[in-house]
Every structure is written in structure tokens, then in C-alpha cells.
Amino acid sequence: MLVHPQFDPIALSLGPVQVHWYGLTYMAAFGLFLLLAARRVRQPWFEQAGWTRRDVEDLLFFGVVGVVLGGRLGYALFYKPGYYVMHPLEIFMVWRGGMSFHGGLLGVLAAMALYARRRERRFLEVTDLIAPCIPVGLACGRIGNFINGELWGRAADPSLPWAMVFPQSGSDIPRHPSQLYQFGLEGVLLFVLLWLYARKPRPIGQVSGAFLIGYGFFRFVAEYFREPDSFLGLLALNMSMGQWLCVPMIAAGVLLWTASRRRAG
């Protein structure tokens, strides 16, 4: 049975300036997005549509704003609405933690809609461009979760070779390292599948639909191994909040992918 090494969350201290591992994972995510999206715009169908490296940089700026605002507001709305109604100023205290992927996704979609409107591009053209680049950023985030020893998994059979005790949980119960499961599923595997799927031109909207389906499915599965939030527990049908948020995501992905295929046919 393994024990989480309890990494120091501060990677580097330079006088009064402290660099946190979680911040470094965000920087890695942004850097990988630039690298991958720059390769995407060199594909012939994007080049013909006039996409450039400068567009990628602008997309990153819009995306960062969207993911931070959406992630924080989504956490407040989906997970602790009562608390933040009573303490609204704490919504802006992002250093205290609390981000929602589903809220971040909505924030990014809103930011991409604004970008598309300003640049007079089709919204789904923009989301198709960025969709295969997102999973690597998610993978970076899950590594940050693991380093911080947060979002640990549910209790596991002690005989499981990779079962791990997370002292941060306040117990010596062996658990699934669910952060690493999510790193592998929502990050690495989803990236590989989407990148391969998007290597040739697809009808507009299909790559975006595939992302919604893929992320929703992998996150739904991973939630069976992740400890539900203590202040929520399991909800109806013994499903977590994360799973319930994945249901409309998968449904939207199926509808988008199907509608795109019909339009192309």
C-alpha cells in the first residue's frame, strides 16, 4: 500500500515570491495549448480559412479569462450556492481553491462565442479548432491535484497494488488515486482519440461534439472512483454532482455530432 508523499505545494521561493506547483501546471497547460493549436492552424483547411498563429494567441487570452471566471462561478453555483450567497465576496478569493471544470467549460464557450463574434467567424469553427488541444491542459490540472493531495479517491481494496493513503483526507484509509485516473482518461486518452479524429477535415461541429461526448463519458466513469464532495455526498441515483453535470454534456455532444453529420450528408 502506497502513501501520498505530501509534496510541498510551493515549488520555488524567490524572496517574498512563492511559485506554487499548481500555478506551474496551469502554465504548462497554456504552453501546450499554444503549441498544439499552432499545429492545428497549419492544417490545410484552417490555413485556407485564414487562421494564423496570432489567432491562437488571442484564443488563449480569451480562454484563460473564460476558464478562470467560469470555473470559479461554476463552483459557487453548482457546488456551494448557499454558502456563496451568504459570502459573495469570497467568490473572488480564488487562492482559497474551488474551481469547477463544467463551469470553466461554460466560461470558455462564452469567451469563444465573444471571440467568434468579434472576428466574424462561426462559433463551431472556433470550438472545433481548440477542442483537441484542451485535454492536455486537463491532464496538467490533474497532476496539480495529485501534487496537492486533493480530490482524492474513494476507499479501495488494500490489496490493490496502487491503492494509496492520502493523509490530507484525515484518515489512513487506502484510496484510489483518482486524480491519476482522470489524468489518464480525461487527459491522455481523450487527447489521443480527439487528435487522431481531427487529423482530417470533419463537418463543422463534429470535433466539438466528440469532445463533449468523450470528456463527459470519461469523467462520468472516473467519478465512480473519486470521493464525492463531503458537503454534497451522493445525489439522486447514487450519482455525484460531477456525474449529473456530465449527463447534459454527453447529451449535447450526441445532438451536436448527429446534427453535424446530417448537415454534411
Here the cell at position 195 is 487528435
CB-based contacts of 192, cutoff 8 Å, min separation 6: none
> Rg (Cα) of the chain, in Å, rounded?
19
pLDDT at 95: 62
The string of DSSP codes covering 82-138 is: HHHHH-GGGGG-GGG----HHHHHHHHHHHHHHHHHHHT--HHHHHHHHGGGHHHHH
Q: How distant, in Å, are the alpha carbons of 80, 164, 167 from that of 170?
A: 22, 13, 6
**Model confidence at 87, in pLDDT bands (50, 70, 90)?**
confident
pLDDT at 94: 67
User: What's the average model confidence in pLDDT over 196-220?
Assistant: 97
With pLDDT > 90 as the criterion, what percentage of the chain qualifies? 75
Q: How far apart are CA 104 and CA 123, in angstroms?
A: 17
User: What's the average model confidence in pLDDT over 2-17?
Assistant: 89
Ordered by start, the domain boundaries in the chain are 17-151+173-264
Residue with the three cell numbers 484563460? 64
**Model confidence at 74, in pLDDT bands (50, 70, 90)?**
confident
pLDDT tens, 163-186?
A: 999 999 999 999 999 999 999 999
User: What's the average model confidence in pLDDT over 58-73?
Assistant: 92
pLDDT tens, 152-161?
A: 999 999 999 9
**Residue 142 in marked binding region:** yes
**Model confidence at 100, in pLDDT bands (50, 70, 90)?**
confident
User: What's the average model confidence in pLDDT over 202-208?
Assistant: 97
Which helix (H) or strand (E) segment holds residue 10: the answer is: strand 10-14
Which helix (H) or strand (E) segment holds residue 20: the answer is: strand 17-20
Residue 96 has pLDDT above 70, yes or no: no
User: What's the average model confidence in pLDDT over 189-216?
Assistant: 97
User: For residues 87 and 124, is the Cβ–Cβ distance under 8 A?
Assistant: no
Residue 198 has pLDDT above 90, yes or no: yes
CB-based contacts of 116, cutoff 8 Å, min separation 6: 122, 123, 125, 126
Residue with the three cell numbers 450519482? 239
pLDDT at 226: 96
